[in-house]
């Protein structure tokens, strides 16, 4: 299997070429088979790799493949290389598996679109770059995927490019991501200059060795800088403060795109990158704490914005930003497994939620405002049930998947080895955010599916359940959202169930082993008693239930009177949150506008006036004027010449007479 | 001298094409067609011939290859001296590659004075190739000045409304720089004569001249100014937007694709190795100006209402990268810089061709005149997008490799410059994508755009090879880098080691020596030599 790794990106790439070049001519069924088939094949190979890895002994679970030497100049040598280990195999299964389901779903969702072929070409292109990102054996191949998915995202957000806001949102996504990539690349340079390699297989052992031999101290400024720069890249790609602003706008793309790229896979690339670089982060606790702080703030802030969003996709978008914050809390609390576990469960339930919202939007004829919905559960039963299951999962109700993964993250935050008090602060913020999440997610469910229908008669008439091509992926994803958590059951629950192991942790352990060793040696962590863990778990559930109950009381019983009254009573706070803390406006005012005017100044003043008028045309004019002036002497009048002769004579004579 | 003077064959082949063109009347369509065909075939033949240079070139050997040297004006030590190394090889190939593309692109665009136009283009090709191959300063200077004339005519005769202003500006800027260079060049030869008693314009011999530091700095400044104007570096760049906007498409493509490379090439071949100490002295200034150019060019590009002007300013930014990579003197930086010159020729050349295509259809280059044309010109839009991505350095395209190597190479020796220069990568995305969005996306707002037709086969034919290179360099850059390694390493060695040799001690020694020999004519020994020149 090792030699087949390259096929995973190759199939979608072929799909992209076929659909992009021939799709327009060969019709929809060709596009469907190529589009879905290639990703399906990639998924099968990913499965094959997974079983190959399972079949090997834990030490031999890293597969490598080098395609060709890509860039080689002097000491810099970068191969086009792949590496499949426990971490990347989990990721690639999620990417190709969820990706495949979303491709299937798209055949229904995009059925009537005139650019059906273009859509699948882009979607294939996305899977191609995403698999490069995940499978790359060095940071540069990861970066190829990293920028490539940004391109796919750009194209897909602006898929309906005739609407200017869509094209705008695509450009915003690309540019904001580029700002993040800028930091990422500088971080890579820093690593390269200091360690001479960017290949995982060489870099990580080198760093670990340098640390063990004492050449690299704990919290060295170099590692803090490198990690934070890498994290700048992650804030762009994975929508964290301050670069999260592109993701809500990215909802302008077709809904399957939101599900695949802006929820399940691409936006989690930052989490994957941090988990991949775990050894670097582990020896830079300050960087970890900064990441955790930003992640916790993001989780909380996005959750509060989610409360007041009325666009069903915007609710989910802010929820994604918030959940990504949880994943970063996980990896930054050195609970790398928990972060990746939440990444996986989130891919299931968030993809499900987005696809369900797509089904709702499909039924509503394009309407996305939940204030105009209501009572849809009768007309869309499958969508309703699957969405409800996924919502329970994200709210963190046991034994749904979200409960296990989110609780594990919060627990690891609570017991953060490097700074226990700081960890507890992060835990507190995370727990608050979890309550808000439960609240706004159920607000969305209640407003969409319950109560009276609030749309117009025409829309009501058209309400229908989606075709099987759309509902079957929903059911599979909902099933995974429900049971996905059992892969990673916490130890204390596992023991109660009769030594039920935490498969996920055991499987991924070798990837993070040296990090765990370092932490183990560096700090003597005290394990709080078991009842604390049980207590916190109970508290989490209680918080989630409280959130749901409040949502029920407000939106099932008192809607719309109470929300309206609350909005009036707290109008300042309401406006602040409703307008997303005016972050976009502040950026516009402080960065975009000044930058634009500075550029205009450079052009109109420095270039046109400063350089051209004064330095280029100026001397030219002076010379011209001088020529004009001198030219008057040669006017052809004998009198003039004569007078010059006389004046000259006088000058010479006076010179001789006076000086001598 | 090599068995067959392939470099000369390639250089003068375009001139050979001019001969029949002169005698063809251009007052009817057949004549015009014949002129175009001959011109195209000639340039294609030159390209095919230039492939022989590629195959004849051995990348493991340092120094110049396929050398042709013939005594020309023996008494002044002037020889006809051609040769190629891993650096000029690629620039020469870029020249022969872009010229047929340019000629094909003018098929419909140039209908006035067709004969003269093609003569100018072919003549220009010869001059450019000669400049890249010359290893004799006198010969180089001749070719260097010869390039000016056809380009001046192309802008001034076939250009847009303000073509005269632009052509004169172009001419004066470059001629001004060249004159200073000429003075420095003569000074250099004089110093060599002073030291060795021999007059020579042979570049390889002049490489060994040691100058007093003051003169080295001054001569470097003169050479550097000539080349910096050509690059163009900030703040000598203002001729470029005007020249580009007024030049016909073919002119812009050659100007951006090849002529701008002359500046950076001049630094590599002449200014830096001839005057390593002067170069080292000015190096901080040049790095500063390059970084300013990168950011400034990008910012000004962002606010341009005219697509062509936008691309012109983006050249200022891209060439800033080339200069930066050159001046950090790391293998990564220098190779990245040379690769970036090729990339810029391909990507910016393609952008100018693409702008030319819609200009021919709509006779405007204003961004605000367009909008939503992706709908009516899907293939054109796709190609435009690919070229845009290559221009903003997306991985898997050529632009990424160049920028990445330059930034890595810079970061190794100068972190601040690398970080500042890397912001240009963000800005590149801003101005290019913003332009793409305003031109291609949204609804068609201008009814004139509704009837636009997509590109035809001829247009596709000259764009396609450029796209091939976008991905060829992007995916297999080693193919191109391999040929450079040896030459670039010896270039770095040459510039670096020479610049650290007891600079000050030498300055002390050299200065009194200069005053002694100042009156060269009064010394009978020297007078003898001078008299001998005439023979």
Q: Which pLDDT tens digit goes with each residue over B200-241?
A: 898 988 888 888 889 999 999 999 999 999 988 988 898 898
Among the listed residues B212, B332, B330, B206, the one whose alpha carbon sits nearest the alpha carbon of residue B274:
B206
Determine, yes or no, domain membership for B524: no
Q: Are A185 and B478 a contacting pair at CB < 8 A?
A: no
pLDDT of B513 > 70? The answer is no
Q: Are B425 and A602 a contacting pair at CB < 8 A?
A: no
Q: What does the pLDDT look like over A608-642, one tens digit per residue?
A: 888 888 887 777 788 888 888 888 777 778 888 88
**Residue among A70, A168, A189 minimizing CB distance to B407:** A189
- The DSSP secondary structure of B436-488, one letter per residue, reads HHHHHSS---SGGGGG-----HHHHHHHHHHHHHHHHHHH-HHHHHTTTHHHH
Q: Is A249 helix (H, G, I), strand (E, B) or coil?
A: helix
Determine, yes or no, domain membership for B523: no
Determine, yes or no, domain membership for B60: yes
CA distance B421 to A294: 27
Confidence bin at B374 (pLDDT 50/70/90): confident
Q: How far is CA A119 from CA A106, A177, A254, in A?
A: 9, 22, 9
**How far A160 CA lies from chain B's nearest CA (Å)?**
9
Measured in degrees and rounded to the nearest 5, phi and psi for residue A618 equal -55, -65
Measured in degrees and rounded to the nearest 5, phi and psi for residue A528 equal -65, 155
- What is the Cα Rg of chain B in Å? 23
Tell me if chain B has a CB within 8 Å of the CB of A637. no
pLDDT of A601 > 60? The answer is yes
Average per-residue pLDDT for chain A: 89
Q: Are B303 and A612 a contacting pair at CB < 8 A?
A: no
CA distance A522 to A570: 49
Q: Are A168 and B437 a contacting pair at CB < 8 A?
A: yes
Confidence bin at A393 (pLDDT 50/70/90): very high
Q: Are B335 and A164 a contacting pair at CB < 8 A?
A: no
CA distance B333 to B319: 13
* Residues in A touching B389 (Cβ below 8 Å): 151
Q: Is B314 helix (H, G, I), strand (E, B) or coil?
A: helix
**How far A285 CA lies from chain B's nearest CA (Å)?**
24
- The DSSP secondary structure of A397-452, one letter per residue, reads -TTSHHHHHHHHHHHHHHT-SS-HHHHHHHHHHHHHHHHHHHHHHHHHHHHHHSS-
* Residues in B touching A117 (Cβ below 8 Å): none
Measured in degrees and rounded to the nearest 5, phi and psi for residue A398 equal -70, 150
A 162-181 residues with CB below 8 A of B?
162-164, 166-168, 170-171, 174-175, 178-179, 181
Give the count of beta carbons closer than 10 Å to the beta carbon of residue B458.
12
Query: Which of the two residues, B354 and A625, has the higher pLDDT score?
Result: B354
Confidence bin at A554 (pLDDT 50/70/90): confident
Tell me if chain B has a CB within 8 Å of the CB of A33. no
**How far A368 CA lies from chain B's nearest CA (Å)?**
21
* Residues in B touching A19 (Cβ below 8 Å): none
Class of residue A51 by CB neighbours under 10 A (exposed 0-12, middle 13-18, buried 19+): exposed
Q: Are A598 and B299 a contacting pair at CB < 8 A?
A: yes
Tell me if chain B has a CB within 8 Å of the CB of A182. yes
A 193-212 residues with CB below 8 A of B?
193
A16 CB-near residues (< 8 Å, 6+ apart): A121, A122, A124, A125, A128
Determine, yes or no, domain membership for B213: yes
Pick from B429, B431, B443 the residue to mutate for testing the A interface (most A CBs within 10 Å): B429
Pick from A25, A71, A132 the residue to mutate for testing the B interface (most B CBs within 10 Å): A71
Query: Tell me, what's the pLDDT at B500?
Result: 54
Contact indicator for A324, A298 with CB cutoff of 8 Å:
yes
- The DSSP secondary structure of B249-283, one letter per residue, reads HHHHHHIIIIIHHHHHHHIIIIIHHH-HHHHHHHH
Vertex A257, ends A253 and A262: CA angle to 5°? 95
* Residues in B touching A611 (Cβ below 8 Å): 235, 238
Distance of CA B430 to the CA centre of its chain: 26
Pick from B379, B395, B415, B427 the residue to mutate for testing the A interface (most A CBs within 10 Å): B395
CA distance A330 to A430: 10
Residue carrying structure tokens 């100044």: A601
The whole domain housing B218 covers 6-501
**Smallest CA–CA distance from B176 into chain A, residue:** A616
CA distance A223 to A216: 9
* Residues in A touching B383 (Cβ below 8 Å): none
| Beta-strand relationship, B65-73 and A63-73 | unpaired
Q: What does the pLDDT look like over A412-436, one tens digit per residue?
A: 999 888 888 999 999 999 999 999 9
In the predicted model, what is the mean pLDDT of residues A512-524?
87
Give the count of beta carbons closer than 10 Å to the beta carbon of residue A59.
7
Q: Are A189 and B172 a contacting pair at CB < 8 A?
A: no
Tell me if chain B has a CB within 8 Å of the CB of A192. yes
Query: Tell me, what's the pLDDT at B47?
Result: 94
- Retrieve residue A272's tokens: 């994957």
Query: Tell me, what's the pLDDT at A106?
Result: 93
**Smallest CA–CA distance from A607 into chain B, residue:** B238
**Smallest CA–CA distance from B410 into chain A, residue:** A189
In the predicted model, what is the mean pLDDT of residues B350-368?
90
Determine, yes or no, domain membership for B514: no
CA dihedral B376, B380, B384, B387 (to 10 degrees): 160
* Residues in B touching A616 (Cβ below 8 Å): 169, 173, 238-239
* Residues in A touching B404 (Cβ below 8 Å): 71, 140, 185
Among the listed residues B108, B124, B157, the one whose alpha carbon sits nearest the alpha carbon of residue B43:
B124
Provide the number of CB pairs (under 8 Å) joining chain A to chain B: 127
A 122-141 residues with CB below 8 A of B?
140
Confidence bin at B503 (pLDDT 50/70/90): very low
B167 CB-near residues (< 8 Å, 6+ apart): B152, B153, B155, B156, B159, B243, B246
**Smallest CA–CA distance from A150 into chain B, residue:** B394
Query: Tell me, what's the pLDDT at A564?
Result: 78
Determine, yes or no, domain membership for B481: yes
pLDDT of A656 > 90? The answer is no
- Retrieve residue A31's tokens: 């596009």
pLDDT of B531 > 70? The answer is no
Query: Tell me, what's the pLDDT at B294?
Result: 94
Q: Determine which helix (DSSP H) or strand (DSSP E) holds A265, and give its type and residue range.
A: none
Among the listed residues B269, B230, B15, the one whose alpha carbon sits nearest the alpha carbon of residue B133:
B269
pTM: 0.90
Q: Are B478 and A72 a contacting pair at CB < 8 A?
A: yes
| Beta-strand relationship, B78-84 and B65-73 | antiparallel
CA distance A468 to A486: 28
Query: Tell me, what's the pLDDT at B524?
Result: 44
Query: Tell me, what's the pLDDT at B3?
Result: 60
Measured in degrees and rounded to the nearest 5, phi and psi for residue B83 equal -170, 165
Vertex A305, ends A304 and A311: CA angle to 5°? 135
Cis peptide before B235 (omega within 30 of 0): yes
Distance of CA B283 to the CA centre of its chain: 21
Q: What percent of chain A has pLDDT over 90?
A: 52
CA distance A7 to B26: 57
Determine, yes or no, domain membership for B528: no
**Residue among A148, A607, A612 minimizing CB distance to B396:** A148
Among the listed residues A249, A467, A479, A256, the one whose alpha carbon sits nearest the alpha carbon of residue A357:
A256
Among the listed residues A54, A598, A247, A557, the one whose alpha carbon sits nearest the alpha carbon of residue B300:
A598
**To the nearest 5 percent, what fractions of chain A are helix, strand and coil?**
80, 5, 15
- Retrieve residue B420's tokens: 């500042």
Q: Are B485 and A607 a contacting pair at CB < 8 A?
A: no
CA distance B507 to B496: 18
Q: Are A616 and B238 a contacting pair at CB < 8 A?
A: yes
Q: Are B389 and A598 a contacting pair at CB < 8 A?
A: no
CA distance B253 to B353: 7
- Retrieve residue A466's tokens: 């989606």
**Residue among B330, B394, B442 minimizing CB distance to A151:** B394
Measured in degrees and rounded to the nearest 5, phi and psi for residue A69 equal -75, 120
DSSP A268: G
- The DSSP secondary structure of B188-252, one letter per residue, reads HHHHHHHHHS----BHHHHTT----HHHHHHHHHHHHHHHHHHTTPTTS-THHHHHHHHS-HHHH
Distance of CA B65 to the CA centre of its chain: 21
* Residues in A touching B239 (Cβ below 8 Å): 616
pLDDT of B507 > 70? The answer is no
Measured in degrees and rounded to the nearest 5, phi and psi for residue A63 equal -105, 140
Give the count of beta carbons closer than 10 Å to the beta carbon of residue B174.
25
Q: What does the pLDDT look like over B390-428, one tens digit per residue?
A: 999 999 999 999 999 999 999 999 999 999 999 998 999
Q: How far is CA A602 from CA A144, A597, B238, B245, B285, in A?
A: 34, 9, 12, 19, 20
Cis peptide before A560 (omega within 30 of 0): yes
Q: Are A164 and B442 a contacting pair at CB < 8 A?
A: yes
Query: Which of the two residues, A529 and A285, has the higher pLDDT score?
Result: A285
Determine, yes or no, domain membership for B516: no
Q: What does the pLDDT look like over A103-148, one tens digit per residue?
A: 999 999 998 888 899 999 999 999 999 999 999 999 999 999 999 9
**Per the structure, how many domains does chain B have?**
1
Among the listed residues A119, A120, A152, A146, the one whose alpha carbon sits nearest the alpha carbon of residue A134:
A146
Measured in degrees and rounded to the nearest 5, phi and psi for residue B269 equal -85, -35
* Residues in B touching A607 (Cβ below 8 Å): 238, 300
Give the count of beta carbons closer than 10 Å to the beta carbon of residue A527.
8
Domain ranges of chain A: 143-179+239-279+294-578, 584-659
Average per-residue pLDDT for chain B: 87
**Residue among B238, B330, B407 minimizing CB distance to A185:** B407
A283 CB-near residues (< 8 Å, 6+ apart): A207, A211, A216, A218, A219, A220, A223, A518
Confidence bin at B101 (pLDDT 50/70/90): very high
Q: Are B437 and A193 a contacting pair at CB < 8 A?
A: no
**Residue among A68, A179, A192 minimizing CB distance to B426:** A179
**How far A75 CA lies from chain B's nearest CA (Å)?**
9
Q: Are A620 and B172 a contacting pair at CB < 8 A?
A: yes
Q: Determine which helix (DSSP H) or strand (DSSP E) holds B95, and give its type and residue range.
A: helix B88-105
Q: Are B478 and A189 a contacting pair at CB < 8 A?
A: no
pLDDT of A294 > 90? The answer is yes
**Residue among B238, B330, B425 minimizing CB distance to A178:** B425
pLDDT of A552 > 50? The answer is yes
């Amino acid at each position: 299997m090792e030699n087949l790794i390259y096929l995973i990106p190759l199939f979608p790439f072929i799909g992209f070429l076929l659909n992009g070049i021939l799709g327009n001519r060969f019709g929809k069924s060709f596009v469907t088979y190529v589009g879905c088939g290639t990703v399906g094949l990639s998924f099968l190979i990913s499965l094959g790799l997974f079983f190959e890895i399972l079949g090997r002994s834990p030490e031999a679970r890293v597969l490598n493949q080098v395609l060709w030497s890509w860039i080689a100049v002097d000491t810099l040598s970068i191969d086009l290389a792949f590496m499949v280990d426990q971490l990347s195999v989990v990721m690639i299964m999620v990417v190709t598996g969820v990706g495949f389901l979303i491709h299937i779903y798209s055949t229904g969702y995009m059925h009537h679109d005139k650019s059906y072929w273009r859509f699948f070409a882009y979607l294939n292109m996305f899977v191609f770059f995403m698999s490069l990102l995940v499978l790359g054996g060095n940071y540069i191949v990861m970066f190829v995927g990293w920028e490539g998915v940004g391109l796919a995202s750009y194209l897909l957000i602006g898929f309906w490019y005739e609407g200017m806001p869509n094209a705008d949102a695509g450009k915003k996504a690309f540019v904001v991501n580029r700002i993040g990539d800028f930091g990422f690349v500088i971080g890579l340079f820093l690593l390269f200059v200091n360690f001479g390699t960017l290949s995982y297989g060489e870099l990580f052992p080198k760093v670990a060795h340098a640390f063990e031999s004492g050449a690299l101290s704990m919290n060295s400024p170099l590692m803090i800088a490198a990690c934070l720069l890498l994290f700048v890249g992650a804030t762009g790609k994975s929508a964290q403060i301050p670069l999260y602003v592109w993701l809500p706008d990215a909802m302008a793309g077709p809904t399957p795109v939101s599900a695949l790229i802006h929820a399940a896979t691409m936006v989690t690339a930052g989490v994957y990158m941090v988990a991949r670089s775990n050894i670097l982060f582990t020896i830079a606790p300050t960087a970890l704490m900064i990441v955790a702080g930003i992640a916790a703030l993001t989780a909380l802030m996005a959750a509060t914005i989610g409360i007041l969003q009325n666009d069903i996709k915007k609710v989910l978008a802010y929820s994604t930003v918030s959940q990504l914050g949880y994943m970063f809390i996980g990896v930054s609390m050195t609970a790398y497994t928990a972060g990746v576990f939440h990444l996986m469960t989130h891919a299931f339930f968030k993809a499900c939620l987005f696809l369900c919202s797509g089904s709702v939007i499909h039924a509503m004829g394009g309407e996305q405002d939940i204030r105009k919905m209501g009572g849809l559960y009768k007309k869309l039963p499958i969508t309703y049930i699957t969405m409800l299951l996924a919502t329970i999962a994200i709210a963190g109700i046991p034994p749904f998947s979200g409960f296990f993964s989110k609780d594990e993250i919060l627990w690891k935050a609570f017991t953060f080895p490097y700074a226990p008090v700081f960890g507890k602060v992060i835990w507190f913020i995370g727990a608050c955010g979890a309550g808000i999440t439960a609240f706004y997610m159920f607000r969305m469910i209640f407003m969409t599916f319950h109560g009276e229908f609030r749309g117009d008669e025409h829309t009501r008439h058209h309400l229908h359940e989606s075709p099987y091509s759309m509902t079957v992926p929903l059911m599979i994803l909902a099933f995974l959202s429900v049971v996905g958590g059992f892969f990673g059951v916490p130890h204390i629950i596992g023991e109660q169930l009769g030594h039920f192991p935490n498969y996920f942790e055991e499987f991924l352990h070798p990837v993070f082993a040296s990090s765990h060793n370092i932490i183990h040696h560096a700090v003597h962590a005290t394990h709080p008693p078991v009842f604390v863990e049980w207590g916190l778990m109970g508290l989490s559930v209680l918080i989630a239930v409280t959130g749901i109950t409040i949502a029920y009381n407000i939106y099932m019983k008192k809607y719309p009177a109470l929300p309206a009254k609350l909005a009036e009573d707290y109008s300042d706070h309401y406006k602040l949150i409703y307008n997303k803390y005016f972050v976009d406006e502040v950026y516009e005012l402080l960065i975009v506008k000044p930058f634009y005017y500075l550029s205009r100044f450079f052009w109109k003043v420095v270039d046109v006036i400063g350089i051209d008028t004064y330095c280029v045309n100026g001397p030219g004019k002076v010379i011209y004027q001088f020529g004009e002036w001198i030219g008057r002497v040669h006017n052809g009048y004998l009198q003039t010449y004569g007078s010059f002769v006389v004046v000259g004579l006088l000058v010479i004579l006076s010179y001789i007479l006076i000086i001598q | 001298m090599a068995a067959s003077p392939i470099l000369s064959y390639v250089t003068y082949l375009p001139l050979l094409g001019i001969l029949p063109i002169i005698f063809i009347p251009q007052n009817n369509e057949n004549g015009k067609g014949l002129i175009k065909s001959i011109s195209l075939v000639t340039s294609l033949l030159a390209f095919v011939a230039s492939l022989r240079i590629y195959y004849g070139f051995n990348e493991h050997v340092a120094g110049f290859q396929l050398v042709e040297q013939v005594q020309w004006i023996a008494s002044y030590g002037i020889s006809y001296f051609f040769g190629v190394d891993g650096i000029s090889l690629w620039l020469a190939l870029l020249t022969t590659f872009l010229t047929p593309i340019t000629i094909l692109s003018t098929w419909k665009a140039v209908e006035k004075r067709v004969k003269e136009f093609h003569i100018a283009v072919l003549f220009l090709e010869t001059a450019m190739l000669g400049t890249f191959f010359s290893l004799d300063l006198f010969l180089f200077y001749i070719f260097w000045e010869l390039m000016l004339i056809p380009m001046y005519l192309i802008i001034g005769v076939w250009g847009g409304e303000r073509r005269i202003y632009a052509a004169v500006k172009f001419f004066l800027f470059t001629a001004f720089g060249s004159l200073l260079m000429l003075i420095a060049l003569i000074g250099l030869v004089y110093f060599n004569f002073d030291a060795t008693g021999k007059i020579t314009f042979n570049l390889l011999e002049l490489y060994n001249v040691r100058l007093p530091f003051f003169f080295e700095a001054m001569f470097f400044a003169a050479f550097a100014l000539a080349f910096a104007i050509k690059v163009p570096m900030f703040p000598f760049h203002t001729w470029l937007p005007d020249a580009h906007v007024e030049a016909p498409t073919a002119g812009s493509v050659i100007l951006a694709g090849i002529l701008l490379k002359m500046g950076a090439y001049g630094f590599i071949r002449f200014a830096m190795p001839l005057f390593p100490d002067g170069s080292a002295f000015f190096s901080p200034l040049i790095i500063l100006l390059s970084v300013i150019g990168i950011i400034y060019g990008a910012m000004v590009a962002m606010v341009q209402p005219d697509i062509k002007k936008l691309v012109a300013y983006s050249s200022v930014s891209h060439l800033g990268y080339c200069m930066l990579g050159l001046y950090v003197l790391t293998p990564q930086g220098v190779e990245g810089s040379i690769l970036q010159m090729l990339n810029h020729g391909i990507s910016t050349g393609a952008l100018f061709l693409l702008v030319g295509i819609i200009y021919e259809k709509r006779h405007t280059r204003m961004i605000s005149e367009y909008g939503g044309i992706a709908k009516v010109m899907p293939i054109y839009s796709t190609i435009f997008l690919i070229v845009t991505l290559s221009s903003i350095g997306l991985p898997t395209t050529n632009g990424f490799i160049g920028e990445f190597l330059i930034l890595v190479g810079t970061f190794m020796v100068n972190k601040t410059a690398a970080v500042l220069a890397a912001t240009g990568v963000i800005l590149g995305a801003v101005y290019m994508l913003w332009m793409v969005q305003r031109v291609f996306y949204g609804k068609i707002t201008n009814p004139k755009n509704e009837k636009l037709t997509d590109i035809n086969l001829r247009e596709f034919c000259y764009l396609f090879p450029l796209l091939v290179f976008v991905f060829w360099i992007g995916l297999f850059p080693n193919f191109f880098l391999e040929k450079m390694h040896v030459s670039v390493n010896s270039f770095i060695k040459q510039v670096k080691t020479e610049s650290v040799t007891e600079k000050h001690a030498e300055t002390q020694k050299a200065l009194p020596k200069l005053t002694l020999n100042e009156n060269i004519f009064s010394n009978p020994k020297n007078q003898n030599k001078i008299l001998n020149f005439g023979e």
